[in-house]
Structure 1
């Protein structure tokens, strides 16, 4: 049995009494050195987490074979950018109890005196800065780390011609705690490099009436569907044509608060239009082609889409980076359709839409949807014809036929 225990900031005064009781009922305790020091009287065996996570996973496997109760101590809250997704992946059949802790996010917003129920959250620790929203329309918490320092985040926005206010928190709850509000220009010039700091990015205030009208117009333009193909930056990456894109989004039935994953996002055309339909939600674009990744970021910036997150990699390998989603759009599966449909964190009743250009992919997808208990399976075959002007006439230009499959996730 595994107990995943959040220890909050890692200070004894911030540990609730219940955590001590949980630890005392464990046979093995695993955590970082600072976490283990919180429990000096623990009578069982201990294992210190290090950079070699595989060795720690081996310790867990061996202890589970001996039917021991294992406590895994994680900083902050287990459900917020922690070890929990990896443990779920490694031990899918094991009973796992999760106990919350005070996350760095909660601490930071408390220090700032700000509500966080409508904020966006991004981690750039070991990830690309392109995950940051190019335009700030909501409070956005950013976890930094590795090569991505707070100064790098500030410079990212300066390079976009923006100078937002940024709250900087480091070593929260410790004697050396830093908490400061400064603008991006000031932060970028700071000489002290802070490791694993948390930032709160503040959107610009909208005081002038003219600016409000301009913003409303921009939002309206971003929520359109069927954007002409030539408006997207394309390179040599395949793109879903506008006639098909409209039908895919119609089948997805996206609402304004939905969380959406676009698998095999290509240039990001579907992701961008989906983001416009879900202004209070988030779209996660999964793409493993570096050229396509760059195009997604470039198109995101061109269309000023702030609620789109690029996840470099291949599905389902990167699913640990996803929250629960309402809609899953699959444009490419790399031959792993079964694993994708089985493992995608789609909520019960959530919608899945698959595009296929071959009979074989269509047939396989129908069989898998049936096998995995998806409901209301619908199949549409479309072939659009564009009539292009040639001198004073119009000639037919047929686009490749496409199958669009849609379904809802049922109870398994």
Structure 2
């Protein structure tokens, strides 16, 4: 039997008696040198040193047949970004028992004095820094390894236009514990060596941000900063977004973004993903930036230029929204960086463009093609009477990129 024993902060005072009893009943213990000193009653028990999860797995494979009960000592809680998944891959579930302990996450949130039941977590050890979520709408705990420092995380947040409060925890629960809360600017310039730490990034609440407004679509037109650039009306926007079937982690391309109204609502839905808004008009770009600031949307990037030329700057996306193409709809549909199975939505205000779009979708690599024509009528009150105010009819074409099986 493999006993996966969490030892918390690796201090004797944090070990409950039951953990010591379980370790004492084992024929073999595997852990680091510091953990060995936590169990003086096990001095006669064979102890194998391990410096990594991979090394521990190899030791288990080599000795599993020689011992009845093997104890694997794990810092923190074994189920929180721990060794449990690796052991489950190699050994049957019925041959393992897991004993939880206090994790660095629990200690971090305790020091910060906040609840962690609605928090998010990410382990950046061995990962690229760019995987850090752009939209932080609830407390985010970040585990760092050797390669990424807390200063680098803070600098990335600043480059994204964010300056949140960040708590830094190191050796939590030990005699040399370090805990401090600062903003990203101060952390980015900290002289301390801050790798192998755990961070708590606090969400920034803006009055007009979608975090404060609540996750929703159909933001009133009057809430957007507007100019001469055309803006998709709310009644059409909600249908476009519905046809796009956007999910939480999607990456989205908005071609001909205008004022950015669709991009902003798409970013609110895909708040763990990313939206790329392509716009060539200088005035429209200013409006997009203004609305990005107003709604505090961190996961929206403005890309200046014309499609399809700027597609080289865009990574693969799950959803493509096409509004204005400057007469180059065919090239845009052909070259859009849309993954197989991704959704595409094209809007058209003329019958000719709608007809051309339908023809192209049928001839290119798309399936599940649908066409909807919408005309909304608003009834504003004028001198105690509600008078019809018709909006221009709009065609909405939607489709899915064909998945090719080899």
TM-score w.r.t. the length of structure 2 is: 0.58
CA contact (8 A) 1:167 1:199 kept: yes
Whole-angstrom CA distance in 1 between matches of 2:27 and 2:265: 51
Give the aligned partner of residue 19 of structure 1.
Answer: 19
Whole-angstrom distance in 1 between the partners of 2:253 and 2:95: 39
Partner of residue 144, structure 1: 144
Structure 1, unaligned runs of 5 or more: 224-241, 255-259, 286-295, 307-330, 332-354, 358-381, 405-412
C-alpha RMSD of the superposition: 4.2
- Specify the SS of the correspondent of 1:401: strand
Identify the residue that residue 130 of structure 2 maps to in structure 1: 130
Q: Which residue of 2 aligns with 1:105?
A: 105
Matches within 5 A, 1:163-182: 163-182=163-182
2:367 alignment partner in structure 1? 401
CA pair 392-219 structure 1, distance change in 2 beyond 3 A: closer
Contact 1:249–1:274 (CA under 8 A) maintained in structure 2: no
* Residues matched between the structures, number: 284
Partner Cα distance (2:276, 2:348) in 1: 30
Counterpart contact for 1:165–1:201, Cα < 8 Å: yes
Q: Secondary structure at the match of 2:138?
A: coil
The aligned residue for residue 216 of structure 2 is 220
| Cα shift at 1:168 | 1.2
Q: Indicate the residue corresponding to 1:410 in structure 2.
A: none
C-alpha spacing 1:54/1:135, structure 2 compared with 1 (3 Å)? closer
Cα distance in 2 for partners of 1:25, 1:95 equals 16
CA distance change for structure 1 residues 62 and 147 in 2, over 3 Å: closer, same or farther?
Answer: closer
Q: State the 1:392 CA deviation.
A: 8.6
Distance 1:44 1:247, change over 3 A: farther
1:140, 1:46 → 2: CA distance?
Answer: 37
Change (3 A) 1:125 1:276: same
CA 1:139/1:63 → structure 2, altered by over 3 Å: closer, same or farther? same
Contact 1:384-1:401 within 8 A present in 2 as well: no
The CA distance in 2 between the partners of 1:181 and 1:268, in whole Å, is 36
List gaps (5 residues or longer) in structure 2. 220-237, 255-263, 278-291, 300-317, 319-339, 370-398, 400-406
8 Å CA contact retained: 1:155, 1:188? yes
Q: TM-score under structure 1 normalisation? A: 0.57
Asked if the contact 1:4/1:78 (under 8 Å) is kept, the reply is yes
Cα deviation for residue 62 of structure 1 reads: 2.9
Within a 5 Å distance, the mapping from 1:182-221 to structure 2 comes to 182-206=182-206, 211-212=207-208, 219-221=215-217
Q: 1:118 offset after TM fit, Å?
A: 1.3
Q: Report deviation, 1:171.
A: 1.2
- 1:14-53 aligned within 5 A: 14-42=14-42, 43-51=44-52, 53=53
Provide the residue aligned with 1:311 in structure 2.
none
Aligned-residue offset at 1:219: 4.0
| Aligned positions of 1:81-120 closer than 5 A | 81-92=81-92, 94-120=94-120
Larger Rg: 2
Cα pair 1:30 1:73 within 8 Å, conserved: yes
Alignment of 1:216-365 (within 5 A): 219-221=215-217, 249=245, 304=297
Distance in 2 between the 1:383 and 1:173 partners? 51
Query: Alpha-carbon deviations, 1:328-366, whole Å to 9, x = none?
Result: xxx9xxxxxxxxxxxxxxxxxxxxxxx979xxxxxxxxx
